[in-house]
Amino acid sequence: MVVIVDTVTNPLRPRHPEKVNRPDSASPPKPDWIRVRAPNTRGYADTRNIVKSNGLHTVCEEAGCPNIGECWDKKHATFMIMGDTCTRACAFCNVKTGLPNALDAAEPLHVAEATAKLGLAHVVITSVDRDDLADGGAEHFAQTIRAIRAACPATTIEILTPDFLRKEGALEVVVAAKPDVFNHNLETVPSRYLTVRPGARYFHSIRLLQRVKELDPTIFTKSGIMVGLGEERHEVQQVMDDLRSADVDFLTIGQYLQPTRKHHAVMRYVPPDEFSSYEKVAYTKGFLMVSASPLTRSSHHAGEDFARLKAARAATAR
C-alpha cells in the first residue's frame, strides 16, 4: 500500500492530508536483501477473507508491512482496532491520518471471532492513536483482551499500544486486563523524534514501559525501533540502555522503508551484518529476546518469539 491519495474508497479525501503538499523525498534504490515475494498464496487469501468478513482492519495492510505474504500465508494477522484513521501524522507511517469515526462497540467480539476462526495460538492486537478519546482507547483494548480470553482461553495475547500521552489512568486499565505481552515501540532514537515522531515524547514512552513492569512484573514488555532514519550507532546503543533501565524484555530492530515519496526518506539501508552486530550488543545488555534484521517488524514471528521469551525467562529463574 503506497498511495498518498485514496481514490477508491473516498476520492475526495487524501490518505495523508498533512503530507500532500510536501516536496517529494527520494530514497536510494532498495538493495537485494530487502526484497520480498508478492502475496499470492491460498493461505494469504484465506486470511484476507476472514479479516474482511469480520469487518476488521490489520496493521499488516494499513502500514504496508513487507512481511504480509509470509505471515498471512500462515494465518498470522495483526489486528488493528479502533478504526483505520490515526489522529497523529508521524513522518514514517502509512496509516491514514485525520478525524476517526466513533468506536465500534462490537469490534472486540469480532476480533475474538476472527482469532478463533484463524485458530491463533498467539494473537497480536494494535491500534491507531486515538488522542480524541478521553482514555486514548484504553478501555477498548481491555474489552478486546477480555473478549479473546472468553472465546479463546488458550490463546496468548500480545498488544502493541499507543503511548496514551496525557491520558491519566489509561495504562492501568490496559495492564489490569493482563495481556501476556505489552509492546510499545519507541520507533527511533531521541534526536530524530522532532522530524520522525513529533507527536510523541521519548521519555514518556520509556516511562510507560517501565510503569507496566511496576504494575505487573509478570507481563513481558517489548519495544522496537527502525534504523535508516539518520540515527548514529551510539544513539541506538543508548536506546538499548534506556530500555533495559525500564526492565524491557524484548527488543526489535528493523529497517525503515519509505511508504511514499511524501514520507520521510530512507537515509541509509543498513546491511545485514550491522543488524547482527546490534543483536549481539543487545543480548550483552540483558534483553531476554532480540530480533534484529532488515525485515524485522514488531509482530513478525510473534508466536514463536513468545515461546522463546517464556523459555528465556524460565532459564534465568533457575
Here the CATH number for the domain that contains residue 225 is: 3.20.20.70
* pLDDT of 13 higher than 80: no
Mean pLDDT score across all residues of the chain: 90
The tally of domains found in the chain comes to 1
Give which of 120, 290, 167, 280 is closest to 222, Cα–Cα.
Answer: 290
Query: Per the domain annotation, does 138 fall within a domain?
Result: yes
Query: Per the domain annotation, does 4 fall within a domain?
Result: no
* pLDDT of 9 higher than 90: no
Highest mean pLDDT among 24-33, 182-191, 299-308: 182-191
* pLDDT of 72 higher than 70: no
Say if residue 152 carries a ligand binding annotation: no
Burial class (CB in 10 A: 0-12, 13-18, 19+), 17: middle
Q: Which pLDDT score is estimated for 41?
A: 72
Query: Per the domain annotation, does 198 fall within a domain?
Result: yes
Residues 6+ apart with CB under 8 A from 163: 129, 184, 200, 201, 204, 205, 208
Q: Which pLDDT score is estimated for 21?
A: 84
Query: Per the domain annotation, does 23 fall within a domain?
Result: no
The SS3 assignment for 263 reads: coil
Say if residue 299 carries a ligand binding annotation: yes
Query: Per the domain annotation, does 20 fall within a domain?
Result: no
Helix axes 233-245, 202-215, angle to 10 degrees: 30
Query: Per the domain annotation, does 13 fall within a domain?
Result: no
Say if residue 86 carries a ligand binding annotation: yes
Sign of CA dihedral 152, 156, 161, 166: positive
Segments forming the whole domain that contains residue 183:
42-317
Q: Evaluate whether 128 touches 92 at the Cβ level (below 8 Å).
A: no
Query: Per the domain annotation, does 174 fall within a domain?
Result: yes
* pLDDT of 254 higher than 80: yes
Residues in the chain: 318
Query: Per the domain annotation, does 17 fall within a domain?
Result: no
Span of 91-95, 138-142, 226-230, 265-269 with lowest mean pLDDT: 91-95
pLDDT tens string 106-125? 999 999 999 999 899 999 99
Q: Provide the whole-model pTM.
A: 0.90
